[in-house]
Amino acid sequence: MNTPNILTISRMIITPIFLAFFLLQNIPFHYIVALALFIAGSLTDLFDGKIARRRGIVTNFGKFADPLADKMLTTSAIIGFMALGICNPWVLFIILFREFAISSMRLIAASDGIVIPANMWGKVKTTIQMVSTIAIMLGLVLIEDLSLLPDTFPLQIIADILLWLMAAATLISGVVYIYKATKVIDFKK
């Protein structure tokens, strides 16, 4: 197994650990630990693709597993936000709907021997999701773990804006992906 694929798998392993720390309210500084884990997972996403392309070791496993690992990490954060009551259920629905639709199209393409890698719009979507998640979590760290911001800090308003931005980017990237995928998938089979 090559280094990029190890990084991808490590992101998958980090995901449940991140969510556990995020949700375990009785552990001191749990948001700091969760934030550190999320950032570590996000960095593996940054490096796995760069290393694979630079070394010329892009694999079909990486093309499929990398976006899957991204979905696992970002969706777990949104589930955590829902558990805290700071995420609208429609945001999660839009994101999950897109992810299931795209994963289904990838499976259909794979059955024809076609691997559809992530495109630029998917990368933009993932970047917006990761950066927005880090920003919201940083707010939680500053309010809850470190008490550096007052409880009156408008985190909910900021979170709403960032979460709806995530949903919009997810929707746009999904439409672009489906449009491009319909050009390579034979729906008559």
Using the Cα atoms of residue 20, residue 26, residue 27 and residue 31 in order, give the sign of their dihedral. Answer: positive
Closest of 100, 119, 94 to residue 181, by C-alpha: 119
Separation between Cα atoms, residue 151 and residue 169, nearest integer Å: 30
pLDDT of residue 104: 86
| Mean pLDDT, residues 130-143 | 97
Question: What length does the chain have?
Answer: 189
Separation between Cα atoms, residue 86 and residue 136, nearest integer Å: 10
In the chain, the domains with their CATH numbers are: 3-181 (1.20.120.1760)
Separation between Cα atoms, residue 169 and residue 1, nearest integer Å: 32
Residue 82 in contact with residue 93, Cβ under 8 Å?
A: no
pLDDT of residue 128: 96
Stated pTM of the model: 0.91
pLDDT of residue 21: 97
**pLDDT category of residue 166 using cuts at 50, 70 and 90:** very high
Closest of 130, 25, 124, 122 to residue 75, by C-alpha: 130
pLDDT of residue 41: 96
Separation between Cα atoms, residue 32 and residue 155, nearest integer Å: 16
pLDDT of residue 83: 96
